[in-house]
Amino acid sequence: MAHRSPLSRDRLVAEALAMLDDDGLDRFSVRRLADRLGVTPMAVYNHVSSKGDLLQAVADAVVSEADYRAVRGDWRRVVGTCFRTLRTTCLAHPGAVPLVESSQTLHPSIFRPMEITVAALRGAGLGARDAVRAYFLLTTFTLGQVGYQIRGWGRGVDPRAAIREGRISSATFPAILDVRLKEQWDFDQAFEFGLAVILGGIDTRLRRR
Amino acid sequence: MAHRSPLSRDRLVAEALAMLDDDGLDRFSVRRLADRLGVTPMAVYNHVSSKGDLLQAVADAVVSEADYRAVRGDWRRVVGTCFRTLRTTCLAHPGAVPLVESSQTLHPSIFRPMEITVAALRGAGLGARDAVRAYFLLTTFTLGQVGYQIRGWGRGVDPRAAIREGRISSATFPAILDVRLKEQWDFDQAFEFGLAVILGGIDTRLRRR
DNA sequence: ACCTGAACACCGTTCAAGT
DNA sequence: ACCTGAACACCGTTCAAGT
């Protein structure tokens, strides 16, 4: 599979992203990436300072794909659209999500949702510190939902399966057994529910003063 | 450092947890764990089927430390206490948090907060599906906040630092520059803010019907 | 400037052998 | 039943050498 176009940082990032989406983070390695590119493992280090540097660059590439185009409307619509966009962008690259979650130095473009959210919430009357806290809340929520979706929530957390496998007894967990989790679960709906709850909670906080 | 007590699954898990808290997940390896226990790497495999199995056991051990003792009061207090407990338990073992976040098959004790939350919310009048969604919302929020706290939120996300390092320009991000993130940030307060917003959002949802 | 081959210090895991 | 030594098939990364 020897491409003869010259190696470059961009080509490494693109191929790494493709490889992550194909095989997942666990199976990613510099040597296998080099194989895919028909090149010696060591050639990689001419364009990238380390594996960590490369993976960070991949996370940046994914995040900067997001198009937070101007949205008109009240703050709820602005903020809601912003995090729906972030979610969709992440879901488009499941293999890279763990990297985005644990990014150390964020790509400039991640400041866009922060700016949009903080500006919208301050405009609605929220204080500076609470606005950043709300941004942090929305970010952890969104990336958390995406992360669990990709890793397959419901595989280990379905109470009915847990009982079937003898991991818990039905007597001690009456409430959660009412829910047929596996058959009915929809991540999109769960996300919209969570988003509505959060925006609603911020709204009541704003009205209270 | 050769302990002469016999090896066992429990001793492996305990030492692995200590090692994770000391050095972090990146530096964890079966061989270094064996060194700490004064034993051949291969001895580990008499008590554990793989590295993944061991790390899963560590995640289980951490989660099952939590004491969700019965709390009296309205649903907001019950649910709030439940997730404060989950958060505190996770923060006690920073090194193991990534394992808890990505656990595939959850320890039975993680069904306790699920049971508590779903029961409390259904008792308050929420439907079965929404109750599970609310649990999912609270879980992603809580573990997300803990995860970012441990990895050092604010290191890469502080807008002032980003400008200082030339990663973004001050002109395009007016709103977030108002906030002195690094000096004033408090994770406990941010968590309490988020929790209040979520519980408040659920509350208004309940009142609306 | 960019790629290579050989090498170093690690990994997780298997297996036959010991007690 | 549990531990060991040697081995296998991998890692990330460095370095001197090639073009």
Helix (H, G, I), strand (E, B) or coil at B29: coil
Per-residue confidence (pLDDT) for residue B2, from 0 to 100: 42
CA distance A59 to chain B (A): 13
Which of residues 38 to 67 on B have a Cβ less than 7 angstroms from any strand D atom? 39-40, 42-43, 46-47
Angle at A138 (CA atoms; ends A133, A143), nearest 5 degrees: 125
Per-residue confidence (pLDDT) for residue B208, from 0 to 100: 86
Higher pLDDT, B176 or A39: A39
pLDDT tens, position by position, B100-117: 988 877 777 788 899 999
| Residue A8: exposure state from Cβ atoms within 10 A (0-12, 13-18, ≥19) | exposed
Per-residue confidence (pLDDT) for residue A144, from 0 to 100: 95
Is pLDDT at B191 greater than 70 in this prediction? Answer: yes
B165 neighbors A164 (Cβ within 8 angstroms): no
Is pLDDT at A155 greater than 80 in this prediction? Answer: no
Closest chain B CA to residue A206: B197
pLDDT-wise least confident of A84-93, A114-123, A154-163, B81-90: A154-163
Q: Using 50, 70 and 90 to split pLDDT, how confident is the model at B91?
A: very high
CA distance B39 to chain A (A): 27
State the Cα–Cα distance between residues A153 and A187, nearest whole angstrom: 9
Give whole-number Cα distances, A102 to A144, B43, B123, B132, B144, in Å.
11, 33, 37, 26, 10
Q: Which residues of A touch B86 (CB under 8 A)?
A: none
Query: Of the candidates B186, B27, B151, B118, which has an alpha carbon nearest to the alpha carbon of residue A157?
Result: B118
In this complex, the residue with its CA at the shortest distance from the C1' of nucleotide D11 is A29
Contact B145 A140 (CB under 8 A): yes
Per-residue confidence (pLDDT) for residue B209, from 0 to 100: 72
* Strand C at less than 7 A from CB of A43: yes
pLDDT-wise least confident of A24-28, A94-98, B107-111, B118-122: B107-111
B48 CA → D9 C1’, Å: 21
Give whole-number Cα distances, B114 to A81, A99, B120, B137, in Å.
29, 28, 10, 11
Q: Tell me the count of A-B CB pairs closer than 8 A.
A: 199
Query: Of the candidates A114, A112, A105, which has an alpha carbon nearest to the alpha carbon of residue A132?
Result: A114
Is pLDDT at B3 greater than 50 in this prediction? Answer: no
Query: Of the candidates B181, B50, B23, B183, which has an alpha carbon nearest to the alpha carbon of residue B104?
Result: B50
DSSP state for residue B200 in the 8-state scheme:
H
pLDDT-wise least confident of A62-71, B9-18, B173-182: B173-182
Work out the average pLDDT over A84-90.
Answer: 96
Per-residue confidence (pLDDT) for residue A154, from 0 to 100: 64
pLDDT tens, position by position, A130-152: 999 999 999 999 999 999 999 87
Q: Using 50, 70 and 90 to split pLDDT, how confident is the model at B97?
A: very high
Work out the average pLDDT over A163-184.
Answer: 80
A125 sits in the region (left: phi over 0; alpha: psi -120 to 50; else beta) called: left
Work out the average pLDDT over B119-134.
Answer: 95
| Residue A154: exposure state from Cβ atoms within 10 A (0-12, 13-18, ≥19) | middle
* Strand C at less than 7 A from CB of B51: yes
pLDDT tens, position by position, A6-30: 789 999 999 999 999 999 999 999 9
A180 neighbors A163 (Cβ within 8 angstroms): no
Query: Of the candidates A59, A53, A71, which has an alpha carbon nearest to the alpha carbon of residue A108?
Result: A59
Which of B122, B151, B189 lies closest to A175 in CB terms? B122
* Strand C at less than 7 A from CB of B46: no
Max Cα-Cα span within chain B: 65
CA distance A2 to chain B (A): 32
Q: Using 50, 70 and 90 to split pLDDT, how confident is the model at A89?
A: very high
Q: Which residues of B touch A168 (CB under 8 A)?
A: 108, 111
State the Cα–Cα distance between residues A196 and A178, nearest whole angstrom: 24
All residues at 6 or more sequence positions from B79 whose CB lies less than 8 Å from its CB, including other chains? B116, B117, B120, B121, B138, B199
Write the DSSP assignment of A90-128 as a string of letters. Answer: HHT-GGGHHHHHT-SS--GGGHHHHHHHHHHHHHHT--H
Work out the average pLDDT over A178-185.
Answer: 75
Work out the average pLDDT over A40-59.
Answer: 96
Is pLDDT at A2 greater than 60 in this prediction? Answer: no
Strand D nucleotides within a 7 Å radius of protein CB atoms: 2-6, 10-16
Angle at A179 (CA atoms; ends A176, A180), nearest 5 degrees: 130
Is pLDDT at A186 greater than 50 in this prediction? Answer: yes
Higher pLDDT, A102 or B51: B51
State the Cα–Cα distance between residues A78 and B16, nearest whole angstrom: 45
Per-residue confidence (pLDDT) for residue A3, from 0 to 100: 47
Closest chain B CA to residue A135: B194
Helices (H) and strands (E) in chain B, counts: 10, 0
